[in-house]
Structure 1
Amino acid sequence: MSQLLTEAEIRELANGLPGWTVEGNRLQVRRTFKDFVTAIEFVNKLVEPAESAGHHPDIEISYNKVKVTLTTHDAGGLTQKDFDLAEVISQIT
């Protein structure tokens, strides 16, 4: 199981992720796209990196808006795995 990060580690790592916020024990980003199809194309691009990492985000879609939430459920909070996947997701357009 992955080790939970400390509050200081979370703050430091979150500062390096523009657009991401820490909400309790979750790391979240909201993205807005021109339309539904573009939003779904973005979500589809998340599949490969999530599968490769063996770490899967929670995803909410509302027309052209996508909210991606990361947390390490089996650890009960944020771990390095969440921030590593967030870095990858941040590079996806």
Structure 2
Amino acid sequence: MTRLVNESCAACDRNAIAVEADEQAELLLQLPGWQVVGRDGVPQLEKVYSFKDFNGALDFANAVGELAEGANHHPAILVEWGKTTVRWWTHTIGGLHRNDFIMAAKTDYLHGK
């Protein structure tokens, strides 16, 4: 398990500093299957999780929603038959903050439970 899962999110404002490309690459090494994707010009962390059916995908999405609400940091979640796609980014800075990598690690932890 990555050490990121044991970290907590720090409150961010619009002056928070985005993670630079070299640090992104280092953090991604701790997050198998996650990738940085661009959506409307905004870099985001994305991973697709597979499940046996829709209910498994939905249950996982709900668990991620509870995790997000507890951290006051909210992802985009897409639920389809047999898969859930999760995308993390920091809305206030329009990019990636360390918090996003922490939440990605916590999402992986939820999936592994």
> Same fold, TM exceeding 0.5?
yes
Matched letter for residue 92 of structure 1: L
Partner of 1:87: 105
Q: Partners of 2:80 and 2:67 in 1: how far apart? A: 22
Question: Is structure 2 residue 48 aligned with structure 1 residue 22?
Answer: no
Equivalent-residue separation in structure 2 for 1:41 and 1:71 (angstroms): 22
Displacement after TM superposition at 1:47 (Å):
2.0
Q: In 1, Cα distance between the equivalents of 2:31 and 2:82? A: 22
Amino acid in structure 2 at the alignment position of 1:87: A
Match of 1:54 among 72, 75, 78: 72
Runs of 4+ in 1 over 2 A off after TM superposition: none
Q: Which amino acid aligns with 2:90?
A: T
TM, length-normalised to structure 2? 0.78
Give the length in aligned residue pairs.
Answer: 93
Which residue of structure 2 lines up, in the alignment, with residue 73 of structure 1? 91
Extract unaligned runs of 5+ from structure 1.
none
Which amino acid is 1:46 matched to? V
Q: CA deviation at 1:48?
A: 2.1
Q: Return 5+ residue gaps in structure 2 as ranges.
A: 1-12
The percent identity for this pair of structures is 38
Could you say what the CA RMSD is over the residues aligned between the two structures, in angstroms? 1.0
Q: TM-score, normalised by structure 1?
A: 0.94
Report the alpha carbon displacement of residue 19 of structure 1 after superposing the two structures with TM: 1.1
